[in-house]
Structures are given as C-alpha cells and as structure tokens.
Amino acid sequence: MMGALRIRYSIMNLEAEKQYVLNLQMSICMKSSACEENLVLLEDARIPKIGCDWNTSLSDFDLDKYLEGIGQQLEHIGDNLPAIVADKLLEKLGVSMYMLQNNCKTSAVTVNKLENKCSKLDIDLQLPDMMTCSIPTHCTAIECCVSIPLIGRSVSVAVDLDACAYQLSITIEKFKSNIRLFDYEWGTWQKINIKDVFILEYMIDDLKSSKQFVISVRMLACFDSSKCILDVPIVDSLMLPKPLCNFNGTFKLPDFTLDKWINDNAKNLTHGLTDILRSKLFEELGITPYLLDKECNAGTSAHSGWSSDCPLKGSLPTLPDNMNCHLVKHCTGFSCCVNVPLLQRSFSFYFDMDSCNFALTAGIEKLQYNQSLINYEFGKANKVDLFGVIQFRCVNILF
C-alpha cells in the first residue's frame, strides 16, 4: 500500500498430501530504507486443500419446464437444441465452465471407430454410433469422444490408469480428477460426476496372476432430475496389460544428493530436517503417495530386535538398533520396520513366500511387488525399489 504496508508470502504445494504450506509476513515501513515493524502472521502453516463438491444434485430440475419458460420445446426425442439455448442450458446447470471451446471429433478413425495404438493389445471393440475411442501406446488408458445430440456437441472423456504410480486419472472435457488406487477396493463401481450432469462410472479389477487389469466404464449425460438422455457403456470388462514398472534405483530428481538439496532449500539448517522440509523432500522425490498413513515404530528399546510366531526354532540374524522384524506363523515371511534418523522417519518393508501357491510378495510401505515362482530363477538377486530412496534386495534359494 504505497510502500507503507507490505505483505510478503510464499506458498508450497504438497500435492500428494493435499495440503498447502503458507508463510505470510506483514511489514510496516515509514522509510524507504527500512521497515519499523515486521510481523510474522503465518510460518510454515499447513492449510488443507478443501475438496470441491462436484456432486451437486440436479435436485428437482425439470428440462421441459425450463425450456417452456424460455419459449422453447423439443418436438422429438433426439432433437438438437439451438446452439444459444444449449449454451444457456449448460450455464443454468453450472457446467459450462468445464466445456472445451472446441468440440472433439466423433468421425471414425478406423472401421470400428477404435484406434488402437497399443502393440500389446489385439482387440475388436465395437462402439455405439455416437462414439469414437482410442487406446494410446502405453496401453492402460482409453480416450473417447461422445456425441450428445440434445446439446448439439461432443464431449471428450478419458480414463488413464497409471499402474506404476497407482493412480487413476479421469478427464471429462476440462475437468480432471486424480484418484489414488492404494485404498481403492478392486472390483467395485465408483463414479466421478460434474454437477450430476456428466457422469463417468468405472470399475477396475486387478488380475495379479495374469498381470492384467480389467476395466469397465460407462458414461451418463443427464439434463433432467428424473431421467438421463444418455447412458452408454464405453468399455465392458476390457483387459489391459500391466506395464513393467522400472523404478531402476534412479532418483526422480536428476543428479540428486541430499547435501545439495538441503543447501538449495535450507541453507541455515542446523538441527535436522523440519517437518515441512521433510514433506517437501518426500514430495519432490516422489515417494509421498507410497508412504503408509501410520508410520511403523522402530529405533527404541521397546521396538527393536526380532519377534516371532513361527513354531520352528532357529537362529535369526542380529538386527541393528534402529530396526525390528517379525517372523510370521508359516515361517517363510517377515515384516520389518527401520528408522532412518537422517530423514526422521521409520519405513516398513516385508517379504512373504507362499510355497503352496508358488507366489512371492515383497513390498516397501504401500508399494507391492508380486512374482510367480513358476519358472523363477532361484539364486538370483532381486530388488524392490522406491525411486532410489528405499531399496530392498533379496535372494531366494531353493533347497
């Protein structure tokens, strides 16, 4: 304010934690050279991202009455509204802000209106006349353009499954929602909708043994509280191949070293990472979505050494003071917790070999690795890796 009152602020976006970190300072300056008073209003304040309510119901909206009120009517089911009336309808329903300026095109790109760019997928998918779709080269997404006669335009929709990041991205025109799949209950129908007008329903199943996902998607368009003008399946039980996730021991940050990162982000750090700096570090390294909400306990006298439910007696290796492990009842699996003082956090990892079903499971926090033991090369070292930050190596020997 004319230099007398000054506000300085910084905002950090913690995408995976769904929070902002806000710093806010106000200064009172009566001289150009210095300020008489500096007031810290907020310092490293965590502000939760409030979820937007996209599910506002159409309530008792009656399309026929609305059209009658503006001097319009539909002569036949399937008729198009005049462009200006369709625009007013979308505005009235609160969805016009999400519509793309240019329509997607529903003209066929192949004979069956499906463009398949995935070399691992050989399908013959028949689509309704009002729709064209494509499957991109990474194979775990489907992108469609759906014609909606009433409003005289097409709507673009996409479902993209990132199997390595365990994330589902759903796009309807400009609207996009990212959904973490760590807590998704496989095989259940869920939906994303914009104001109850455009609705995308989806169901995903995880076929671990065959390394495939099964996905079903439906789209609905509803301009009246009592009925939907469009209810069409996009795909039904489509099998998509799982990609090979190559974490490869490589950091997401190029040429990353902790000392350099601390020097760039906290030059005056003297007592270890602060809570905010730790969150920022984990966010930039890409590991935040994989961390369990409840941290395991390790590094104290009450949480160290081995515990066991295995009825067999045998010697177990000595563990460092910052680690504890538990041997499971069937004796061929264990879970551990290790404390990393530098990061001021404990991390869990586990290993389980099911000799009856010839399956191996290993993981770090939420990250899980599944391996069939049929045709498995025993004696070879394998690694479960979380972006280079946490690495777990194991060797299976067949006796």
Is 28 a residue whose pLDDT tops 80? no
* Residue matched to tokens 């398949």: 116
Asked whether the beta carbons of 355 and 376 are under 8 A apart, the reply is no
Query: DSSP per residue over 71-126, as a string?
Result: T---SSTTPPPPHHHHHHHHHHTT-GGGS-SS----S-SSTTSEEE--TT------
Cα 104 to Cα 280: distance, rounded to the nearest angstrom? 38
Predicted pLDDT of residue 149: 83
Cα 23 to Cα 40: distance, rounded to the nearest angstrom? 8
Backbone angles phi, psi at 150, to 5 degrees: -55, -45
Banded model confidence at residue 202, pLDDT cuts 50, 70, 90 = very high
Backbone angles phi, psi at 266, to 5 degrees: -155, 75
* Cα–Cα separations (whole angstroms), residue 15 to 229, 245, 343: 36, 22, 20
Predicted pLDDT of residue 110: 45
Average pLDDT over residues 4-27: 79
Banded model confidence at residue 208, pLDDT cuts 50, 70, 90 = confident
Predicted pLDDT of residue 270: 63
Instruction: Report CA Rg, the chain.
Output: 28
Average pLDDT over residues 189-213: 88
Render pLDDT for 237-267 as a digit per residue (tens, 0 to 9): 888 887 766 555 566 677 788 888 878 887 6
Cα 159 to Cα 242: distance, rounded to the nearest angstrom? 15
Predicted pLDDT of residue 337: 93
Predicted pLDDT of residue 198: 92
Q: If you average pLDDT over every residue of the chain, what do you get? A: 81
Secondary structure of residue 392 in the 3-state scheme: strand
Cα 76 to Cα 79: distance, rounded to the nearest angstrom? 6
A 10 A CB-CB count for 47 gives 12
Which regions of 163-197 does DSSP assign to beta strands (E)?
A: 167-172, 175-180, 190-194
Q: Whats the size of the chain, residue-wise?
A: 399
Backbone angles phi, psi at 295, to 5 degrees: -70, 140
Q: Which two tokens stand for residue 191?
A: 């939906």
Render pLDDT for 89-126 as a digit per residue (tens, 0 to 9): 899 888 899 999 888 877 544 434 788 888 887 777 77
Is 63 a residue whose pLDDT tops 70? yes
Cα 336 to Cα 348: distance, rounded to the nearest angstrom? 6
Render pLDDT for 302-319 as a digit per residue (tens, 0 to 9): 777 889 999 888 888 898
Asked whether the beta carbons of 131 and 232 are under 8 A apart, the reply is yes
Render pLDDT for 39-50 as a digit per residue (tens, 0 to 9): 787 888 888 877
Predicted pLDDT of residue 249: 57
* Antiparallel, parallel or unpaired: β 323-327 and 305-308: parallel
Predicted pLDDT of residue 363: 86
Predicted pLDDT of residue 190: 92
Q: Which residues contact 156 (CB under 8 A, 6 or more apart)?
A: 100, 104, 143, 144, 145, 146, 171, 172, 173
Asked whether the beta carbons of 9 and 22 are under 8 A apart, the reply is yes
Secondary structure of residue 342 in the 3-state scheme: coil
Give residue limits of the domains in the chain. Answer: 5-48, 63-241, 258-395
Task: List helix spans (H) across 152-274.
Answer: 258-265
Secondary structure of residue 383 in the 3-state scheme: strand
Render pLDDT for 330-389 as a digit per residue (tens, 0 to 9): 888 889 999 988 888 899 988 888 877 777 888 888 888 777 777 767 777 777 777 778
Q: Name which residue leads in pLDDT, 320 or 77.
A: 320
Which regions of 129-229 does DSSP assign to beta strands (E)?
A: 131-135, 141-148, 153-162, 167-172, 175-180, 190-194, 198-207, 212-221
Range of lowest pLDDT (28-37, 78-87, 367-376): 28-37
Is 325 a residue whose pLDDT tops 80? yes
Q: What distance separates the 2 farthest-apart alpha carbons in the chain?
A: 86
